[in-house]
A and B are shown apart, each in its own frame.
Chain A
Amino acid sequence: MTSPPIVLRLSGITKRFGPLVANDSISLTLYEGEVLALLGENGAGKTTLMNILFGHYVADEGSIEAFGQPLPPGSPRAALAAGIGMVHQHFTLADNLSVLDNVAVGTEPLWRPRSDRAAAKAKLLDLARRFGLEVRPDAPVGDLSVGERQRVEILKALYRDARVLILDEPTAVLTPQESASLFDTLRRLTADGLAVVFISHKMNEVFAASDTVAVLRGGRLVATRRTAATDREELAELMVGRALKPPTPAPLEPGEPVLTLSGVTVGSGHGRPLLDAVDLTVRRRQIVGIAGVSGNGQTALAELVSGLIHPESGTMALKGEAIGSAGPAEMVRRGVARIPEDRHAAGLVGAMAVWENLIAERYHDRAFQRFGLIRRGAARAYAEEVIAAFDVRCPGPDARTQLLSGGNMQKLILGRTLAHGPDLILASQPTRGLDVGAVSYVHGRLLEARAAGAGVLLISEDLDEILALADGITVAYHGRLTPVLPHGRVSVRQLGLLMAGHWEILPEIVDAA
């Protein structure tokens, strides 16, 4: 059997950021008609490698060959000309322009008096039809769903005659059904002779969509396998470098309610409310998971329970006590541990020391201040304790927080909030961007807190995480929440439908439960 022609060859790519080696002499080959999955934890160097390929970064060493020709480094234009298209994790579309304009922008010379829109539209529709990427060319991109926007991004690359498509974590924002449809598209593309590289840290996608899988760890290519000839266990071990066991939540009898929302509405000022008459109860010794595609009210719910925003109508109660417009400090005082969605932007002050961040929620305590003077000794000693108890890897309490890794930052936040025996834990995307080791640490801590009697509200876009931890699951869609469905009584397919707004299936689930 002759192997298909080689479209891309990366040889000995090395990229350093200061002392950090993001890519360590990586060599990869991509064949025509192949889907290559680039698997690795966050920080393994996947995105860096693809950014080098697309010309955003320049490699310190190594070279790239596309279709037999050397690719000039550092030029996205050259990459495009060579037939390489990239779909970024965060879309690069102009919301106010139509689909057609977004696709055609940049492909026409500026000085031409009028653009040939009819031809452009015909080309777009032809591509859309051939690859099953259904779009409305004249719809403004701002009106499209996330799945549709991704289709536009792919069409944009195809419109520029891409023969190699790079997708950076394409499923992070999709429902399971949308992901399945994306994989279907990928198969059509490769049948047409295109080659696809997609970046992922999710195992099931690798098996659903790829022919070959390359595993990166710590900047190095540790293995390349035919997808059909490997299994989850092997890939997980390659990715992490050791065997991991999944969390096993012991069944517990839920206690009295710690958080009760009844008919809470928020942000009704502009069009659709962020939260629309939401009812929700979280009990002690219970983890309630909020599933849903991002942007369906999760952020507002997290801000509500954090004390940053307040119900416009309806009531919120903690441990049976109604709270009106308690701010963040008051929520902390009432025993709410809050793990924010974005630890860099909202959780920590990167420019300040570790100890200063650890006391940020309780610096008014007598333990840390007297007459307005900070008791630095006491604060540092406390920080040492938390650092030890939560296994934060850092040079010491005086280290600047922004020098910590993502996992250690999250441990810092866990230490700040969980060290005080909370009644309710709000965990908002608690493991986003963390490596597998840190993820299992965070999960362990949440389960520990649950066993100790805390109620946990787990908001996550990672359905696997919710399925692994939650006792009850509710789905957020357009600011509304389904009733809490007991874990085990609802299938992934059903969750996917609920996430896409097909709530007409709710009665059958609730009846069966």
Chain B
Amino acid sequence: MRLEPREHTPLAARLLAPVAAVAAALALCALLVAWTGAPVLRAYGLLLEGAAGSRFALTETLTRATPLILTGLAAAVAFRAKLWNIGAEGQLYMGALAAVVLGGGMLDLPAWLLLPTVMIAGAAAGGATLLGPAVLKVRFGVDEVVTTLLLNFIVLLLVSMLLEGALKDPMGMGWPQSAPVVEAAELPKLVERTRLHTGLLVALGLSALLWLIDTRTIWGYENRAVGANPRAAAFAGMPVTRVMLRTALLSGGLAGLAGVIEVCGLKGYLTLDLSPGFGYSGIVVAMLAQLHPVGVVGAAVFIAGIFVGADAMSRAMPVPNYIADVLVAASLLCMLVAGLLTRYRLRRG
């Protein structure tokens, strides 16, 4: 068997690839489900019901999808420019840190002013976190996979230090958590008596905005050219370094915003388990979406649905909810294979 490049990839193949990948992942994980002794179809049925079977399930899935859309966009934006940002998790916590510091009563502003201020500050904190590795990459060729990945641990330790010290909530009964943000810094709810908040609208708006920037502006034009062929972009006279740094700020900013929105829309305060790996799942989201800013929304809702649905399923059956992690990981692997097959065809001999 060998691979030969395809001259042309039909649009249908590009659209079908994620669907086929997810189907393959579900089929593979069916083996694991069957191993636990649970009936496979019923398990998947419960998973679907838990993800989208009721108003509550749906709002839970969308709540979970909100930060994933943002971290997914962060990964998509960076990966398109071949900036391998693995540090969205750390950038998210930096954004969250900015949110609890500025929104925790330090600024006495009305909600219409405080919320944008906190969001911008959180995005700036996330962007600044990625700017360092990006500068090192551009100036000295330091591998950003290593630096961004390791920065995650540094940021988590910093947050841990602050939660045990300077930012520790005096009313928190000794738990390592920050003081809650003030009411003016809380994002309004989207649906009453659910956890779904207006952060979702921010995420959706940014997805559409990024798509417009990508296709309609000279900014996006430069980004795409630099991402696809930096040497040709430099030859044509494009500011490659500036584009890289700009991309880093944008990507880190989106991840930072995810942190702000989790704090201000959902949790209210900062703890060390604010994110169950949203930064890393964002990479899966971006890959499933083939790095398309609008596709990210669909992929984020799908991944969120798997996690929320698996929780519901595990309550009703003897299948642990870790199956969600396996499913998501399998989807990513299958997507990589599907992506390969859209670019190459398999030939015998």
Contacts and interface: CB of A to CB of B under 8 A. Distances in A.
Nearest to A361: B236
B4 interface: yes
A309 B349 CA distance: 47
Interface in A306-335: 306-308, 327-332
B315 interface: no
Interface stretch (A6-14, A236-244, A350-358, A439-447): A350-358
Contacts of A453: none
B232 interface: yes
Interface in B183-242: 216-219, 221, 224-225, 228-229, 231-238
Nearest to B225: A349
Given A19-B7, A356-B221, A345 B216 contact: no
A364 B221 CA distance: 11
Contact of A308 (B229, B235, B349): B235
A376 B215 CA distance: 10
B42 interface: no
Given A374-B218, A403-B7, A403-B8, A306 B225 contact: no
A330 to B, nearest CB: 8
Contacts of A308: 234-235
Contacts of B236: 328, 360-361
A398 to B, nearest CB: 13
B267 interface: no
A11 to B, nearest CB: 18
A460 to B, nearest CB: 19
Interface in A348-381: 348-352, 356, 360-361, 363-364, 369, 372-374, 376
Contacts of B218: 363-364, 369, 372-374
A347 interface: yes
Nearest to A356: B221
Nearest to A327: B237
Contacts of A372: 217-219
A328 B234 contact: yes
A347 to B, nearest CB: 6
Nearest to A340: B235
A31 B43 CA distance: 70
A18 interface: yes
A393 B308 CA distance: 53
B216 A373 contact: yes
B228 A350 contact: yes
A507 to B, nearest CB: 39
A350 B217 contact: no
B345 A18 contact: yes
A349 B233 contact: yes
A373 B217 contact: yes
A306 B237 CA distance: 9
Interface string B8-19: 100000000000
Contact of A352 (B2, B225, B234, B349): B225
Contacts of B345: 18
A58 B224 contact: no
Contacts of A376: 216
Interface residues of A, number: 38
A347 B237 contact: no
A328 B6 contact: no
Q: How large is the interface on B (under 10, 10 to 19, 20 to 34, 35 or more residues)?
A: 20 to 34
Contacts of B2: 58
Interface in A400-425: 403
A350 B235 CA distance: 14
Interface string B103-140: 00000000000000000000000000000000000000
Nearest to B6: A18
Interface in B1-38: 2, 4, 6-8
B4 A18 contact: yes
A1 interface: no
A345 B7 contact: no
Contacts of A350: 228-229
B21 to A, nearest CB: 22
A228 interface: no
B216 A347 contact: no
Contacts of A73: 349
A346 interface: yes
A58 B229 CA distance: 32
B237 A345 contact: no
Nearest to A371: B217
B180 to A, nearest CB: 40
Contact of B229 (A19, A351, A373, A403): A351
A458 B7 CA distance: 33
B185 to A, nearest CB: 32
A18 B7 contact: yes
Contact of B235 (A74, A330, A346, A364): A346
Contacts of A351: 224, 228-229
A329 B237 contact: yes
Contact of B231 (A20, A307, A346): A346
Contacts of B238: 329, 360
A33 B234 CA distance: 51
B1 to A, nearest CB: 11
Contacts of B224: 349, 351-352, 356
A403 B218 CA distance: 24
A338 interface: yes
A501 B217 CA distance: 51
A17 interface: yes
A74 B2 CA distance: 11
Contact of A17 (B4, B225, B231, B234): B4
B349 A58 contact: yes
A60 to B, nearest CB: 8
A85 to B, nearest CB: 24
A306 B235 CA distance: 7
Contact of A338 (B216, B229, B235): B235
A363 B228 contact: no
Given A17-B4, A329-B238, A349-B224, 16 more contacts: A18-B345, A20-B7, A74-B349, A328-B237, A330-B237, A345-B229, A346-B231, A348-B232, A349-B229, A350-B228, A356-B224, A360-B232, A360-B236, A369-B218, A374-B218, A403-B7
23 contacts: A19-B7, A20-B7, A58-B2, A58-B349, A306-B235, A307-B237, A308-B235, A328-B237, A338-B235, A340-B235, A346-B232, A349-B232, A350-B229, A351-B228, A351-B229, A352-B228, A360-B225, A360-B232, A360-B236, A373-B216, A373-B217, A373-B218, A374-B217
Interface of A: 17-20, 58, 60, 73-74, 306-308, 327-332, 338, 340, 345-352, 356, 360-361, 363-364, 369, 372-374, 376, 403
The 9 tightest CB contacts between A and B, nearest first, are A329-B237, A328-B237, A360-B236, A351-B228, A349-B229, A346-B235, A349-B228, A58-B349, A349-B232
Interface of B: 2, 4, 6-8, 216-219, 221, 224-225, 228-229, 231-238, 345, 349
